[in-house]
A and B are shown apart, each in its own frame.
Chain A
Amino acid sequence: MDLAMANNVTISVNGEAMEVPSGTTVAALVQLLHVETAQIAVELDGNIAQRERWCDIAINPGAILEIVRFVGGG
């Protein structure tokens, strides 16, 4: 499907509402947000999305995501 034609859905990312094309996967979202993938964990509707499955998991409308970044300083 042409992304420009796709319907957008509203999801929540770290408490902020965000519009993404319908069918967006976790992997695509992470890319869209320009976050360093090696340094994050993604929680989708209360469960951590396994990294190996990010490409397969499509985000449903209304989904609640939390992206947590790991840092090394201290």
Chain B
Amino acid sequence: MNERDLDRYSRQIRFSGIGLSGQQRLLDVRVAVVGCGSLGSFQAGALLRAGIRRLVLVDRDYVELNNLQRQWLYNEEDAECARPKAEAAVRHLLRIDRESQAEPVVADLDARNIGEILDGVDLILDGTDNFETRYLINDFAVQRGIPWIYGGAVGSYGIAMPIVPGSTCCFACLYPQPPDGVQSTCETAGVVNVLTSTIASIQVSAALQLLCGCQCDSFITTVDFWGDGMRRIRQPAARANCEVCGLRHFSRLEGRRQVPISLCGRNAVQIHSLRGPVDLLLLKKQLLPLGEVRANELALRFQLPPYEMTIFHDGRAIVKGTTDVGIARSLYARYVGS
């Protein structure tokens, strides 16, 4: 470590939990942040400031004005230019530390590209906004024996949990199937900005401990700022019959659970959901404050200029106004939940 870095990281080196050897490890590792929204953009900044310069930042979206309330790295110029979040994040990280080696990956992480994008990382931070990607990350992380740190936040409530293959339970041990139907999302239920930074901080804290070679406390932490505050429970042991870490069936990684997508007609993408029935009346109620919605018992149409989403009772959707599968999947995750 050179003089400049000894100074830059002096307060971490003095902290006995990290020390010089821990700091050297942080400088050596390579970490992925999947999703650079409210959780991921905060994580990326905190990880870089802690000394993790080798970052892989994955995101399929671009910066919008309504992101600035909680997505710490971005500014009005990013929103005006509609910059891809992964690229905007890399630009800002270079202003924090010009030796940053953060790599932007503007892509929709899926079963086909995950092996290439996350190849060789030492740890994965979850900054995604949907369950589909989290189950895919869980499959990948368990198969390769890489730790990942789950985090989620909606409204005033959030949750974080480290998953260390071979040591803790995995995501599917606790939660074998993603929820069906309409879910609360930050778009429909809103979110408090300090909640997302708190959850991201808890995730980064677990990551730093693991990366420094400390035994990470295997807790599930929940936070509800408008409710009962911060709570922790001990993680259970891994389930022997867990499909993923027990039986090692990586169905999402093999693409068998991938939601099929097709381009349909001009400038539209169809998402053939496998998620089963969606309560369209509930969805209508959630979307009404956000834009023009028309619905009957079979289908719901939601205007979100320049896009238009039509969601059918069986969960299938057609997103008009784009041929970009990543945008279509992102809109589905944000307004219906996936």
Contacts and interface: CB of A to CB of B under 8 A. Distances in A.
Tell whether A pairs with B: yes
Interface of A: 14-16, 36, 38-39, 41, 43, 46-48, 50-51, 66, 68-74
Contacts of B154: 71-73
Contacts of A39: 175, 179
A43 B157 contact: no
A64 B203 CA distance: 26
Contacts of B180: 38
B151 interface: yes
A51 B177 CA distance: 12
A31 B196 CA distance: 29
Interface residues of B, number: 46
B138 interface: no
Contacts of B186: 73-74
For the complex of A and B, 9 pairs with smallest distance between CB atoms: A48-B236, A73-B154, A71-B152, A74-B39, A73-B186, A38-B179, A43-B233, A71-B154, A66-B233
Contacts of A50: 239
Contacts of B80: none
Which has the most chain A C-beta neighbours within 10 Å: B131, B134, B153, B233?
Answer: B233
Contact of B159 (A47, A48, A70): A70
Nearest to A41: B174
B59 to A, nearest CB: 11
A72 B129 contact: yes
Contact of B196 (A70, A72, A74): A74
A43 B237 CA distance: 12
Given A14-B228, A66-B231, A72 B127 contact: no
A41 B234 CA distance: 11
Contacts of A48: 174, 233, 235-236
Interface string B113-139: 000000000000011111100100000
B38 interface: yes
Given A38-B177, A46-B234, A73-B152, A68 B159 contact: yes
16 contacts: A39-B175, A41-B175, A41-B236, A43-B234, A66-B233, A71-B153, A71-B184, A72-B154, A72-B179, A72-B183, A72-B185, A72-B333, A72-B338, A73-B184, A73-B186, A74-B128
B153 A74 contact: yes
A14 to B, nearest CB: 6
Contact of A71 (B37, B40, B157, B231): B157
A72 B234 contact: no
B129 A73 contact: yes
A74 B234 contact: no
